[in-house]
Amino acid sequence: MVLSMVDQHKPKCYICSNVFENIEALRRHQEVDHKDFVEFHKNMDEHGPAPGDVTVF
């Protein structure tokens, strides 16, 4: 597999692989187009164990 060398210096969305001119444009894109994903992963400390999770002491 050969990867393109074009625009490697530009930020890329890790969800949909779109390329943006700057980090601010990427941040706006993720907050608008991937709002559910960003909100879910914003505060990972608030997530508790899922039913059936096993804790080893």
SS3 annotation, 19-43: ECCCHHHHHHHHHHHCHHHHHHHHC
Kindly report, residue by residue over 11-57, the tens digit of the pLDDT.
999 889 898 999 999 999 998 999 988 887 777 666 677 788 887 76
Given a contact cutoff of 8 angstroms between Cβ atoms, the answer to whether 20 and 29 are in contact is yes
Q: What share of the chain is helix, strand, coil (3-state, %, to 5)?
A: 40, 5, 60
Residue 6 in this model has a pLDDT that exceeds 70: no
pLDDT for the residue numbered 1? 57
